[in-house]
């Protein structure tokens, strides 16, 4: 199909310019024609959001109800909110729960829309920095266990958060060699240990500042290792609860294209080990421990712009291109350009969502 827009700006990957015409064929952008640079048009077209860490949506917490139906409900709810790609996240749990989630993801894969796979946040973490994770399930990995896990996963396990200071190097190397994005998180690693992990090939960091060794003037910790490394990336939860907006502001200045947004969003749940309760605009465990967020990706972008003094162009890339790049989807998702999947959003001047187009078709308006 061909659509012509005469009152739209769009984000071209670097800046916001005037759009004259979008041509879409077989679910992909075929041509993108631009006009003069403008700033007063009513609507803005941006790439769909990509969230690499989300536990649930639409009233379903995936690990509590690990079914194909749950994934379909989560997919549709996220699409309505502008998230056109995501990894369903599973927190530290029993092997039975992990197996049930992986089984559901494998069954769902043939009909998947915006679900790109799974992110296993645990169980190979450091109990000292467990946050809301259940300590009794946390353990060290063995190479045989990792091999069996990936074999059983059959390609649906895309990302894994681990505490590298407690894992054997051969375990980490096996994950990397088999295409899993490895993220350092829930870790008490020293600056030196974290730097060594990044040098080994660990690509990113799970929710920067949360559940990790902090910055101290005599112990620089994980955040300083990320800042200093040059290649390591980091996700961040931009809700003002998990990380203060001023900290997000200076982190983005240091990391630039190495920092991306996640929601870490959960839903209310009253069963199982993760009984999330909504308290104001955040979720907590029954003992009051901060757990997941109530964020959407759009709200995270708005928070970056309105509270962190981050340029809109950078905030858009933090929510689309950068996470796509990390999981190897760049060139297909995360940008508006010829050959990319036609996943995009229409926002008004106040950055409110007006329309969602997924795979070239209007999904929500």
The domain limits of the chain are 2-46+334-364, 49-326
Catalytic entry in 264, 314, 330, 348: 264
Going by their DSSP bridges, the two strands 60-61 and 282-284 should be labelled as unpaired
* CA R_g for the chain: 20
- Cα–Cα distances in angstroms (integers) from residue 255 to residues 63, 130, 224, 231, in the given order: 32, 25, 11, 9
State the pLDDT at residue 37: 63
Neighbours of 163 (CB within 10 A): 26
State the pLDDT at residue 325: 97
Structural tokens at position 130: 């467990």
Output the CATH code of domain 49-326.
Answer: 3.20.20.140
Give yes or no: 264 in active site: yes
Structural tokens at position 118: 């799974």
Rounded CA separation 303/288 (Å): 24
State the pLDDT at residue 337: 86
Going by their DSSP bridges, the two strands 353-358 and 2-11 should be labelled as unpaired
State the pLDDT at residue 39: 59
Domain 2-46+334-364 shares a fold with domain 49-326: no
Q: Which fold has domain 2-46+334-364?
A: Urease, subunit C; domain 1 (2.30.40)
Kindly report the length of the chain: 365
Rounded CA separation 265/11 (Å): 26
Phi-psi region at 311: left, alpha or beta (left = phi > 0; alpha = psi -120 to 50): beta
Whole-model pTM? 0.96
State the pLDDT at residue 24: 86
State the pLDDT at residue 6: 61
Neighbours of 2 (CB within 10 A): 10
Rounded CA separation 315/303 (Å): 9
Of the candidates 312, 298, 182, the residue with the CA atom closest to the CA atom of residue 238: 298
Of the candidates 39, 52, 145, the residue with the CA atom closest to the CA atom of residue 98: 145
DSSP state of 127: G
Q: Which residues of the chain carry a pLDDT beneath 70?
A: 1-7, 35-41
Q: What is the side-by-side strand order in the sheet with 43-47?
A: 28-34, 16-25, 2-11, 43-47, 344-347, 353-358, 361-364
Q: What is the SS3 string spanning 56-68?
A: EECCEECCCCCCH
């Amino acid at each position: 199909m061909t659509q012509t827009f005469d009152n739209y700006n769009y984000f071209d990957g670097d800046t916001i310019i005037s759009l004259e015409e979008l041509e879409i064929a077989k679910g992909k952008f075929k041509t993108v024609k631009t006009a003069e640079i403008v700033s007063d048009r009513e609507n803005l077209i941006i790439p769909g959001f990509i969230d690499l860490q989300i536990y649930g949506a639409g009233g379903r917490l995936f690990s509590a109800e690990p079914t194909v139906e749950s994934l379909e409900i989560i997919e549709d709810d996220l699409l309505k909110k502008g998230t056109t790609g995501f990894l369903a996240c599973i927190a530290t749990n029993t092997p039975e729960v992990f197996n049930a989630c992986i089984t559901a993801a494998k069954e769902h894969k043939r009909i998947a829309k915006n679900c790109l796979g799974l992110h296993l946040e645990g169980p190979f973490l450091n109990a000292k920095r467990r946050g809301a994770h259940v300590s009794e399930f946390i353990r060290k990995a063995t190479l045989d266990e990792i091999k069996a896990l990936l074999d059983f996963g059959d390609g649906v396990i895309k990302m894994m958060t681990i505490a590298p200071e407690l894992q054997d190097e051969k375990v980490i190397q096996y994950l990397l060699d088999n295409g899993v994005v490895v993220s350092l998180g829930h870790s008490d690693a020293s600056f030196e240990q974290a730097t060594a992990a990044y040098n080994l090939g660990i690509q990113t960091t799970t929710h920067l500042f949360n559940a990790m060794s902090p910055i101290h003037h005599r112990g620089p910790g994980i955040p300083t290792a990320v800042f200093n490394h040059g290649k390591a990336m980091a996700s961040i939860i931009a809700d003002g609860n998990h990380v203060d907006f001023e900290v997000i502001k200076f982190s983005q200045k240091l990391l630039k294209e190495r920092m991306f947004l996640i929601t870490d969003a959960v839903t209310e749940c009253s069963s199982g080990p993760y009984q999330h309760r909504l308290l104001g605009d955040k979720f907590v465990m029954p003992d009051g421990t901060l757990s997941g967020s109530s964020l959407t990706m759009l709200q995270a972008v708005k928070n970056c712009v309105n509270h962190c003094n981050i340029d809109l162009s950078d905030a858009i890339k933090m929510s689309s291109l950068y996470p796509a790049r990390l999981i190897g989807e760049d060139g297909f998702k995360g940008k508006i350009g010829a050959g990319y999947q036609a996943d995009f959003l229409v926002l008004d001047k106040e950055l409110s969502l007006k329309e969602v187009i997924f795979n070239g078709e209007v999904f929500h308006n």
